[in-house]
Amino acid sequence: MVKKPGKKEKMLLKYFAIFAMIALGFQYLLIQPTRVKIAQKKEEVRKINDEIQRAYEFLRDLNRIREEADKMEELWQIFKAKLPDSKQIPLLLKALANVANQANINYVSINTKPMETGNSQGGLTYSRLPIEITLRCRYRNLGEYLANLRDMPRLVKVDSLKIVRNKEILPNVDVTIDVYTYVLTNEG
């Protein structure tokens, strides 16, 4: 047989029921919403961390791009320095003759041809200046001359090379070299 609860047990049951209701209320009114807020904040933190990571990647890429741009600007300045302007053409022709002297070539004729139409690029206007160089020299001296042309501070490109062997002047050969340079006609 089951004993009926006494006053004391009823009181304990009431307190237990009240405590359970308070605990459940606390759970649903305070803890559960706080957990939801915590989950929302964690998601916000994750999104912010993702944005920070993207910002770091962007900055890393931006620094790399800036370094590349600086290198390109430096190369551009070097290239511009290799382009003579029209006032410097006599100096360039003299430099071509000096390069021949450095290669122990005695006979040199250097003639410019008409300047070719100007082009524009990167804020610069430039024209192509063809130059014909006639030499009488040995093969060894010709190789040295071509190497010296390559190493000139001004941009000089070989367009064609013609070697004529003549028994009367051996061991020398007659050489015609068509080169060109770009002449800076306007810096914008």
Say what the pLDDT of residue 60 is.
86
Tokens 């009181």 -> residue: 11
Between CA 108 and CA 97 the distance in angstroms is 7
Rounded to 5°, the CA angle 6-9-11 comes to: 105
CATH number of the domain residue 100 falls in: 3.30.70.60
Residue 121 in contact with residue 170, Cβ under 8 Å?
A: no
The pTM of this model reads 0.58
**Same domain flag for 90 and 181:** yes
pLDDT along the chain (188 residues), means of 10: 74 82 76 77 90 88 88 78 78 91 87 84 79 94 93 90 93 94 72
**Same domain flag for 90 and 74:** no
**Same domain flag for 167 and 132:** yes
**Number of domains into which the chain is organized:** 2
Give Cα 134 to chain centroid, integer Å: 40
**Same domain flag for 69 and 93:** no
Residue 99 in contact with residue 152, Cβ under 8 Å?
A: yes
Tell me which residue range forms the domain holding 2.
1-82
Say what the pLDDT of residue 118 is.
73
Picking from 28, 53, 82, the residue at the C-terminal end of a domain is 82
Alpha-carbon distance values, 41 to 31, 36, 46 (Å): 15, 9, 8
End-to-end CA distance of the chain: 111
